[in-house]
Amino acid sequence: MKIFKFGGASVKDAESIKNIARILQVEGTENTLVVISAMGKMTNAFEDVVDTYYTKSEELPNKLNLIEEYHKNIMKTLFEKNDEIYTTVDILFGELGWFLARNTSQRYNYVYDQIICFGELLSTRIVSAYLSKTGVQNNWFDVRNYIKTDSNYRDAKVNWELTGDIITNKVDKQKLNITQGFIAANDTENTTTLGREGSDYTAGIFAYCLDAESVTIWKDVEGVLNADPRVFENTTLLEQISYEEAIEMAFYGASVIHPKTLQPLQKKEIPLLVRSFLNPKEAGTKVSKGTMLVPNIPCFIVKKDQILISISALDFSFMVENNISYIFQKLHDYQLKVNLIQNSAISFSLCVDNKFNKFDAFYNELKAQFKIEFQNGVNLYTIRHFNKKTVAEITKKGASLLRQTSRETVQIVLKEN
């Protein structure tokens, strides 16, 4: 069985949805499961709904209307006025409105997951209906009935045993199946999410449970490049990457492949293909067991808008295991993703991602026990397979605040000019 994943850029408008139909007709529709993300920038739009729900409720109807208009404008191009997809979509917006009107929970992460899921539900319903209209028979299903997780909203952990049993017994491998990425459900049937960009991970979960022959992630780039073309000029396509190298790149923040996607694929040696939905005839990149990197060239990864933190004891005592362990527990508690660590006898430096906006609370709790200095708005550059020329190319971008070098990797924290 083949697993395909189409991200938001591949379903951003009516022509993009028609393109998916063309790709499936060429690639084959039997024994295929398709994972689809929310359309275009709709995840961002639904995040705006969540924030508006809490802070500016009078603006909420307008935010919802914009989302509804976006989807229905796409539908007008794809369907006749009386097509049943309009009823299906109206029901989904009705369910969203019901939740917003009836919810009493103040837990932000819980509310986030109950709202954000509608992006994927809408996109998959529309794509499935269009495929059916054009003669491509398919089976739409709600992924929340298949992937089961704990209740760690916005970053849920998969119950692999239960999920594996359900997927193995319920997925019809002979059909073309259409389902959602990113979302799942806990044991009380509340929606959970697998972390931002988690649709790739969804594809990996299904591939592992179904012993798939391959996973293909369809992107708007030709494959995995050695650098982000939005940041670097003259990027190069990586034709072959080993699992180990891809996991390293994902760990450091390469955005093409979700960090959690590769682990289940590696366990069963299921190849991952990254191909372009704009040029589907091209082979793209293959991630599999074997040669580390083809071609073997330096690779650049950038994580922007980081916080560089330096922590030391108030009495200038050594930073040793007990206080470092305590700091890491607090980093975990406040969901601060650590992307670089460096320590000396009396200080401990970290570069962290503050995506949950909890750094201020972390700082306020620790400042009574430690001396804490920090700098916002720094960028973390990672170079895999670096050389002197590539390091010089990065350091000329701004003031180097911290550098860490290992055999294959250099990381540089910059305050850019």
Binding residues are 5-8, 43, 120, 230
Instruction: For residue 112, give every residue at least 6 positions away whose Cβ sits within 8 Å of its Cβ, in sequence order, or none.
Output: 47, 50, 153, 154, 193
CA distance 121 to 144: 10
Angstrom distance (rounded) from CA 327 to CA 343 = 13
Contact 364, 346 (CB under 8 A): no
Q: What are phi and psi of 292, to 5 degrees?
A: -60, -50
Cβ atoms of residues 262 and 204 within 8 Å: yes
What does the alpha-carbon distance between residue 303 and residue 352 come to, in Å, rounded to a whole number? 10
Q: Is 4 exposed, middle or buried (0-12, 13-18, 19+ CB in 10 A)?
A: buried
The angle that helices 118-133 and 14-27 make with each other, rounded to 10 degrees, is 60
- State whether residue 84 is helix, strand or coil: coil
Under DSSP, the state recorded for 279 is S
Q: Strand locations in 279-362, DSSP E? A: 285-288, 293-294, 299-313, 337-343, 347-353
Taking the C-alpha atoms of residue 142 and residue 148, their distance in angstroms, rounded to an integer, is 12
Rounded CA separation 103/108 (Å): 12
Binding residues for ATP: 5-8, 230
DSSP bridge partners of 35: 5, 179
Binding site, annotated residues for substrate: 43, 120
* CB crowding 98-113: b at 16 or more within 10 Å, else e: eebeeeeeeeebbbbb
